[in-house]
Chain A
Amino acid sequence: TAGITQAPTSQILAAGRSMTLRCTQDMRHNAMYWYRQDLGLGLRLIHYSNTAGTTGKGEVPDGYSVSRANTDDFPLTLASAVPSQTSVYFCASSSSEAAGVQFFGPGTRLTVL
């Protein structure tokens, strides 16, 4: 099984442009998460979804939006990218019963110029 996939692998984006990072899991996990990882900092939660149809804000939600139309997909959208959004973005999923045991996608490396 694929587990959890992300696309694209990497992207260079001009400031002010919009972009959607895709995330798909085939483990039928209820919970999904978007994190960003920056050098010297821990993973920071952007948005999460405990189940299809619901989403919540994490620690650093500003400038990002998400949707959860079904169990498998959890796209992250940057409406108008800024250079401070340059980061590595990880999508993760977990079962509801074991929320701390998260399975991560391979990540998207985003550079905003």
Chain B
Amino acid sequence: GQNIDQPTEMTATEGAIVQINCTYQTSGFNGLFWYQQHAGEAPTFLSYNVLDGLEEKGRFSSFLSRSKGYSYLLLKELQMKDSASYLCASMDSNYQLIWGAGTKLIIKP
């Protein structure tokens, strides 16, 4: 079956660094995608990885290991506005996204 696992909730301090992990198991693999979703709003695209390694995009970076079926999203210099849910999604062999349930990130001052 297809499965995406990520922690339900994490707490971090403003100005710190947090790593949100995601493991995936999908029929076929065509990329790993991260989205941000603020409470009551729609998801918005953050980053994606197709090849192994780290992709850096400002304060956000995403890492992929295809052999381990593992990815993480790294958020640096946390700001209060980063309080949101972070959704991990794997693209399967049909080029459809299979979504995790999301990790709710709580930022404390």
B42–A41 touching, CB < 8 Å: no
Stretch with Cβ within 8 A of B (4 or more), from A66-74, A75-83, A103-111: A103-111
A42–B95 touching, CB < 8 Å: no
- Of B33, B42, B45, which contacts A90 at CB under 8 A? B42
B43–A104 touching, CB < 8 Å: yes
A96 to chain B, nearest CB (A): 9
- Of A44, A90, A99, which contacts B43 at CB under 8 A? A90
Interface of A is mostly: loop
Given the interface pairs A45-B96, A58-B96, the reply to whether A106 lies near B41 with Cβ below 8 Å is yes
Q: How large is the interface on B (under 10, 10 to 19, 20 to 34, 35 or more residues)?
A: 20 to 34
A105–B101 touching, CB < 8 Å: no
Residue-wise, chain B 71-109 has the 8 Å CB interface mask toward A (1 for contact) of 000000000000000010101000111111110000000
Given the interface pairs A100-B89, A102-B97, the reply to whether A43 lies near B48 with Cβ below 8 Å is no
CA distance A58 to B50 in the complex (A): 23
B27 to chain A, nearest CB (A): 12
CA distance A40 to B101 in the complex (A): 6
A5 to chain B, nearest CB (A): 11
Contacts of A104 in B (CB 8 A): 42-44
B48–A42 touching, CB < 8 Å: no
Which has the most chain A C-beta neighbours within 10 Å: B30, B42, B91?
B42
CA distance A4 to B83 in the complex (A): 24
Contacts of B30 in A (CB 8 A): 100
Specify the chain A residue showing the minimal Cβ separation from B102: A42
Instruction: Supply 12 A–B pairs (Cβ within 8 Å), ascending by A.
Output: A40-B101, A41-B101, A42-B99, A42-B101, A43-B87, A43-B97, A44-B99, A45-B97, A90-B43, A103-B45, A104-B42, A105-B42
Which residues of B are at the interface with A, using a C-beta cutoff of 8 A? Answer: 4, 30-31, 33, 41-45, 48, 87, 89, 91, 95-102
Interface contacts beyond A48-B96, A101-B48: sample of 12 additional A-B pairs, CB < 8 Å, sorted by A: A42-B102, A43-B97, A43-B99, A45-B96, A58-B96, A99-B97, A100-B48, A100-B89, A103-B45, A105-B42, A106-B42, A107-B42
